[in-house]
Structure 1
Amino acid sequence: MTDSAGQRQTSNGLAIVQIPVVRLTPPRQELELHFSQVSYSVKSATKGTKQLLHEVCGQLRSGRLTGVLGPSGAGKTTLLNVLAGFKVNGVSGQFDLNGQPRDLLSFRNMSSYIPQDFEMLSLLTVEETLRVSADLKLPTSTPLEQKQKIIDDIVDILNLQSCRRTLVRSTSGGERKRLSMGIELITNPPVMFFDEPTSGLDSVTSLQVMGYLQRLAHDGRIVVCVVHQPSSNLMRLFDDVLVLAHGELLYAGPQAEMLGCFQQAGYCCPNYYNPADFVLEVGSESSNQRCDALIEQNKDRHSSIKRLHKLIPDEQTALMDSAIDLRPDSVVRPKEQVSFSYQLCVLMKRHLRVMSRNLIAVQMRIIMHVVVALLLGVVYWQIGDDAAKLPSNVACLFFVMLFAFSGNAMPSILLCLQESAIFIREYYNGWYSLNAYYISKVLADLPLQFTCPTLFIGISYFMTGQPPELSRFLMCWAVCIITTFIGHFIGVIAGSLLDMQMSIFIVPASTIPLMLFSGFFIRMRELSWFLRPICDISFFRYIFEGLMRAIYGYDRGHLSCQSEYCHFKSGKQFLKDIDMQGDEFGWDMMVLSLVTLLLLIAFYATLHVSIRRAL
């Protein structure tokens, strides 16, 4: 699949990107971000404190495309995160915006950060993705016509006309890169940071993407991007360059003056040599004392810029002193632009649209529940009223419990893993509040959580010959519904906290042992005394007990016996034998409801942990 961005060939055969003539409104104010003596350190459990940036100095100016270069491990992405305000803990140094100390929260409101792995919902079209961004990032008072015009302008300037109604998963790499730019261009930010925007792209597509970034910069924005190893063609597009090596800044300034500064320090670039390759080779020799001369030379050049304020020892501390909201995430998170109800409405529509197109989440899961219910009905055909087959019917009901749980827990892990990175990015960009996402996520999943178990129990209940009483059917249905909820929330909690491999291991490993204490494999009175408390905390016990009481409790009477001898002809006697006597279905449902409530609270806490962990 190839991009549709236009190109032309020069006389020497080089591909030049042809940028569309459509323009977004340029930012009104020229900006200059000056940073000096910026250091960043992290705490490690094994190595103590490790410093990743060492007193770097430089400046970023609007109207110029700035490239961040350096060998692997030089600290390029770390510097970008610090400059963009996404890293605050462990940061020290001075940040001046137009000669005044930078207010981090205000800066985050006027800037955007596009990471290397910019996650997007793959089952939305390009236009739908931009529409959601416009609905959540623009003020509620913005007319629909103006939103549509902004979307159309972005589609034109990024040359996305041919794929605007294409699902994101079906777009090419270059189109996805340009779409990630478009999502952030909705608010026309004057400052944009890009982490390796050419990663994974071929040379032609990389040139196209960098051409768009140059265009955005020359429209009056600060545009900074990390490029791992640019070609000579890409290098020509940069107006300014930052060269990093082992967390130290060798050079920060115009590209036209870069080679001259290196030459003064004793490094001469050979003729016809790619300047990017040359500075990367120099950076790999940063232990050389001549590199120390480069570092000091860069510090001296930028320290000569007039500073109106003293050095800020810790930017986070300075902000926290004057901040009203002292939560850690409030330091770097802009305020939402739309009301809570509007956030909820937009997120609900997005969740439902994505789910309706998801083969695994909806279509295959519904088909799976129907097929397994039919198979269960065929295997256990009309055994529900036969006293001679009562053990087999109990096994059938245990399978109902097992499938209702596992058939919803495992798919929920995968779905949550796909959305977790997107939620973190959008939350920290101020698209919506945590409460809006949480409520919309819970509500959007309800239709599927009701549909699947209803189809499953509706088919299997009557095919297996369970008692044809509405009250008993409704009790079984209620148990299946709440079992589905429990499985679903355990899946999403694991998917939010852990990676895929760990989640798929932890969920079965932590829940399957609890099935031993459900009352199916061993009667509770036969357990050792120190194991009996586990039965009280195993939710499988209350699920299985609820099913048993729904089928055999509440004065069901004698079962029909199709053999010469039936040991259990009375449902009441059977429940007494397995230690589940008493018509206490309400108690079982109350305990299961409490478990569901605890899982809902745990899911909310899990989202809190996820956003704090991203700081």
Structure 2
Amino acid sequence: MVRSGTLSAIMGPSGAGKTTLLAAVSQKSSGEISGEIHMNGHPVDKELMKKMSGFVPQQDLAFESLTVREHLQFMASLKMDRRVSAIQQMRVISGLIQDLGLLMCSKTRLSSLSGGERRRVSLAVQLLTDPPVLICDEPTTGLDSSTAASVINLLRQLTAKGKAVLCSLHQPASGIFEMFDTVTLLVPVGRLAYFGNVNGAKQHFASMNLVCPPAYNTAEYVVTQLNTKPDEITEKFISSIPFIKLNKEIEHVKLSENNNQLIFGIEEKFLKFYSVQPPTKLMQLKWLLWRSILELYRNPQKTFLSLVMYIFTAFLVAIPYIGVKLDQEGIQNVQGLNYSVVTETIFTHAYAVVHTFPLEIPILLREMNDGVYQPAPYYLSKVFLLVPRVILETLLFCLVIHWTVGINVGPKGFLIFFIPAMVSGISSSAYGCCLSAMFENVSTASLLSVPVDFISYCFSGIFLQLSSVPVYLVWLKYISRFYYGLEAMTIMQWINVKNIPCSSNPNIPCISSGEGVLVKYGYNPNNLFFDMSGLLIIFFLLHFIGYLFIKRRTQKQSVY
């Protein structure tokens, strides 16, 4: 039981279930929970409890390239009622920055903040909606004694505004422990060992002949006893005066609820939480794009290095084919060039994004569980940023190769390389996103991709004569990005070549036209539209599958 205007602590040894209890109370646990949560004697459902409470987790997770003010602006835009104007949002943000002592670091990136500053930023995020209940999971963990005391003092100030603040603690310093009004003590497996005011805890343990030595940290002594004598302590608490008082208070609340004495109070006081209108999916997409663009802008060296390496690779691909001609000897060389362009584009863009979701999953789960945004806008924001990047990198890659090799001079000749390579690239980026969404780590995703990629490029038409493939294996080429990309590029390269000079060496077979080249490799000259459509279908299908995996993770994977 937590009262408004009080600072309450939950304490116990490791494994006692402190975080689990907080997650259950705040309705953020994905596991099965029995029992009910009442507020002012009125049952509160999951959605309303999420709106009426703020949960500050033990670990501070955020996109660290953003400044404090930018991070709060992003959160305010997605957590607050969409009817609140931007000016009102900025007033709330400025007020919290002032009240929580963040003014000096408001323009500092999150990556440069101290532990205490990061904890205050996490508090500010949860206070944006002015919830009547604030729940903090071990807010002093990882902080020195002075910083820890300042954080608890800050929470104490919030109770003066009528908020109910509930915190889990491990072994706080004596001065910090005494700042709390009430304490709940748990033993392993979540059994209740004590509930009451902080001063009464010491007396209760003394009544069991567990007397805290003079000048000894009361909190540390109590937690030690909970670890060594859990059964004895829980049994004695059931027959103690604090337990009897607790039951009487609970019965009083139930009686008040049955008499409908408190229903009007909750309806009147918390009416605004019932009518909150969350931001639309379009607004969520807008702000997610805004944050992602800021992340890119703040990390230019990563983008620059990627482009430099891609251009360097293009030169490496092009150098062996400089001066290649469209003659009998050049047929194999041109096809080798086509294959190199397609495979390099496919592999580069597939593996460049395979790390995307594993790195962001902890933040993603945290923010979605907090109701900041939904899976669809998040996934779309990644796709909308990824596609232009793939197009730009492929454009530079093909420009370098086309200029270096010197084949098919002119804009039309350039498009022969660029269009199939670009569509292959965006299709492969979808493949990378799908793998990234399916698995929790990059190594597992990469391991699965090896046999998939091997089968795909075997059916590209370079290593295997496609016309000789057994009927029961023909379908494999239709799921190969390499097949679609290489066939499309080969068609565009050779379809308009009407005459290929024969070699003066009579022992070299003569292929006299571009259509003959297509026949040689088992390609259909009428398949250009089919190939492009196949790549685009793969693009949309794999992104849809990737989205479903992200959505499933947010629903099934536990956050706390």
Q: TM-score when scaled to structure 1? A: 0.80
Corresponding residue for residue 432 of structure 2: 491
Corresponding residue for residue 146 of structure 1: 88
Corresponding residue for residue 185 of structure 1: 127
Corresponding residue for residue 585 of structure 1: 528
* 1:382 alignment partner AA: G
Asked if residue 352 in structure 1 is aligned to residue 293 in structure 2, the reply is yes
Corresponding residue for residue 281 of structure 1: 224
Asked if residue 395 in structure 1 is aligned to residue 336 in structure 2, the reply is yes
**Distance change in 2, residues 1:196/1:274 (3 Å):** same
| CA-CA distance at 1:571 after TM superposition | 3.1
Segment of structure 1 superposing worse, 124-133 or 403-412:
403-412
- Conservation of the 8 A alpha-carbon contact between 1:386 and 1:562: no
* 1:579 alignment partner AA: G
Corresponding residue for residue 23 of structure 2: 81
- Conservation of the 8 A alpha-carbon contact between 2:424 and 2:485: yes
Q: Once the two structures are superposed, what CA deviation does each residue of 1:406-429 show, in whole Å capped at 9, x if it has no partner? A: 222223232323333333333333
Q: Once the two structures are superposed, what CA deviation does each residue of 1:439-473 show, in whole Å capped at 9, x if it has no partner? A: 33322333212211111112212322332354453
Q: 1:409 aligns with which of 325, 331, 350?
A: 350
- Conservation of the 8 A alpha-carbon contact between 1:475 and 1:550: yes
- Conservation of the 8 A alpha-carbon contact between 1:248 and 1:295: no
Gapped regions of structure 2 (runs ≥ 5): 258-273
Asked if residue 611 in structure 1 is aligned to residue 554 in structure 2, the reply is yes
| CA-CA distance at 1:475 after TM superposition | 4.5
Q: C-alpha distance in 2, partners of 1:143/1:286?
A: 56
| CA-CA distance at 1:563 after TM superposition | 9.0
Q: How does 1:419-458 map to 2 (within 5 A)?
A: 419-458=360-399
Corresponding residue for residue 11 of structure 2: 69
SS for the counterpart of 2:395 is helix
Q: 2:246 aligns with which of 274, 279, 302?
A: 302
- Conservation of the 8 A alpha-carbon contact between 1:66 and 1:239: yes
| CA-CA distance at 1:130 after TM superposition | 0.9
Corresponding residue for residue 34 of structure 1: none
Q: C-alpha distance in 1, partners of 2:108/2:253?
A: 51
| CA-CA distance at 1:83 after TM superposition | 0.7
| CA-CA distance at 1:614 after TM superposition | 3.4
| Residue identity (%) | 26
**Distance change in 2, residues 1:336/1:444 (3 Å):** farther
* 2:494 alignment partner AA: Y
| CA-CA distance at 1:599 after TM superposition | 1.3
| CA-CA distance at 1:131 after TM superposition | 1.0
Q: How does 1:515-530 map to 2 (within 5 A)?
A: 515-527=457-469, 530=472
* 2:15 alignment partner AA: G
Q: 1:474 aligns with which of 415, 420, 436?
A: 415
Q: Once the two structures are superposed, what CA deviation does each residue of 1:260-300 show, in whole Å capped at 9, x if it has no partner? A: 12222342222221112112112212454343222564654
- Conservation of the 8 A alpha-carbon contact between 2:318 and 2:405: yes
Corresponding residue for residue 343 of structure 1: 284
Corresponding residue for residue 158 of structure 2: 216
Q: C-alpha distance in 2, partners of 1:209/1:411?
A: 41
- Conservation of the 8 A alpha-carbon contact between 1:383 and 1:390: no
Q: How does 1:27-176 map to 2 (within 5 A)?
A: 59-87=1-29, 89-176=31-118
Segment of structure 1 superposing worse, 378-387 or 168-177:
378-387
Q: C-alpha distance in 2, partners of 1:505/1:582?
A: 36
| CA-CA distance at 1:97 after TM superposition | 0.9
Q: C-alpha distance in 2, partners of 1:115/1:529?
A: 57
* 1:584 alignment partner AA: N
**Distance change in 2, residues 1:194/1:567 (3 Å):** farther
Corresponding residue for residue 328 of structure 1: none
| CA-CA distance at 1:178 after TM superposition | 1.6
Q: C-alpha distance in 1, partners of 2:385/2:350?
A: 16
Q: Once the two structures are superposed, what CA deviation does each residue of 1:467-491 show, in whole Å capped at 9, x if it has no partner? A: 2354453353222222222222222
Segment of structure 1 superposing worse, 301-310 or 455-464:
301-310
* 1:264 alignment partner AA: S
Corresponding residue for residue 240 of structure 1: 182
| CA-CA distance at 1:579 after TM superposition | 0.9
Q: Once the two structures are superposed, what CA deviation does each residue of 1:337-373 show, in whole Å capped at 9, x if it has no partner? A: 2334333322222222222333476333222222222
Count of equivalent residues: 537
| CA-CA distance at 1:76 after TM superposition | 0.9
Task: Identify the structure with the greater strand proportion.
Answer: 1
* 1:192 alignment partner AA: L
| CA-CA distance at 1:78 after TM superposition | 0.5
Q: Once the two structures are superposed, what CA deviation does each residue of 1:291-332 show, in whole Å capped at 9, x if it has no partner? A: 32225646544222225659x9xxxxxxxxxxxxxxxxxxxx
**Distance change in 2, residues 1:457/1:104 (3 Å):** same
| CA-CA distance at 1:248 after TM superposition | 0.8
